[in-house]
């Protein structure tokens, strides 16, 4: 059998060496992944001019967003009318910015208050 050391400083140095060697190995793996990553953006060639790059970028059309919003309002109005509220006046259509849990808690609170009185 070999000799077992009980020197705490030597054990600490060996442990620290192993830890730092593993960390260095992990950093090499991360660098390797960055090199072979297919989703990484490629550098632009110097031969391409910036003007040609600007013409290739599509510009978002804001009129299509407005048309989608108008269609959404028409659909909501038709759904409300089909539900039976044809005489009701729609005041506002806006997205709800709360989660389902908070909305449920609010509805329960209103329900509890109505049940008390």
The reply to whether 28 falls in a domain is yes
The reply to whether 117 falls in a domain is no
The reply to whether 80 falls in a domain is yes
The reply to whether 11 falls in a domain is yes
Contact 77, 90 (CB under 8 A): yes
Query: Rounded to whole angstroms, what are the CA distances from 106 to 11, 27, 77, 80, 94?
Result: 60, 49, 25, 23, 18
The reply to whether 21 falls in a domain is yes
The reply to whether 54 falls in a domain is no
Contact 71, 63 (CB under 8 A): no
Rounded to two decimals, the pTM is: 0.33
The reply to whether 53 falls in a domain is no
pLDDT in tens, the chain (117 residues): 578 888 999 999 999 999 999 999 999 999 998 888 877 666 655 555 555 445 555 555 556 667 777 888 888 888 888 887 766 677 777 766 657 777 788 888 888 888 776
Domain count, the chain: 2
Contact 5, 11 (CB under 8 A): yes
18, 21, 2: which is closest to 10 by C-alpha? 18
Domain that holds residue 101: 66-109
């Amino acid at each position: 059998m070999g000799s077992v050391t009980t020197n705490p400083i030597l054990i600490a140095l060996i442990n620290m060496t192993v830890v730092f060697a593993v960390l260095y190995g992990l950093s090499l793996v991360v660098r390797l992944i960055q090199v072979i990553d297919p989703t990484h953006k490629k550098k632009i060639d110097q031969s391409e001019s910036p003007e040609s790059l600007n013409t290739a970028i599509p510009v978002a059309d804001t009129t299509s967003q407005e048309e989608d919003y108008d269609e959404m309002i028409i659909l909501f109005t038709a759904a409300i009318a089909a539900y039976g509220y044809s005489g009701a006046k729609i005041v506002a259509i806006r997205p709800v910015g709360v989660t389902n849990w908070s909305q449920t808690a609010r509805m329960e609170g209103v329900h509890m208050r109505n049940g008390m009185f």
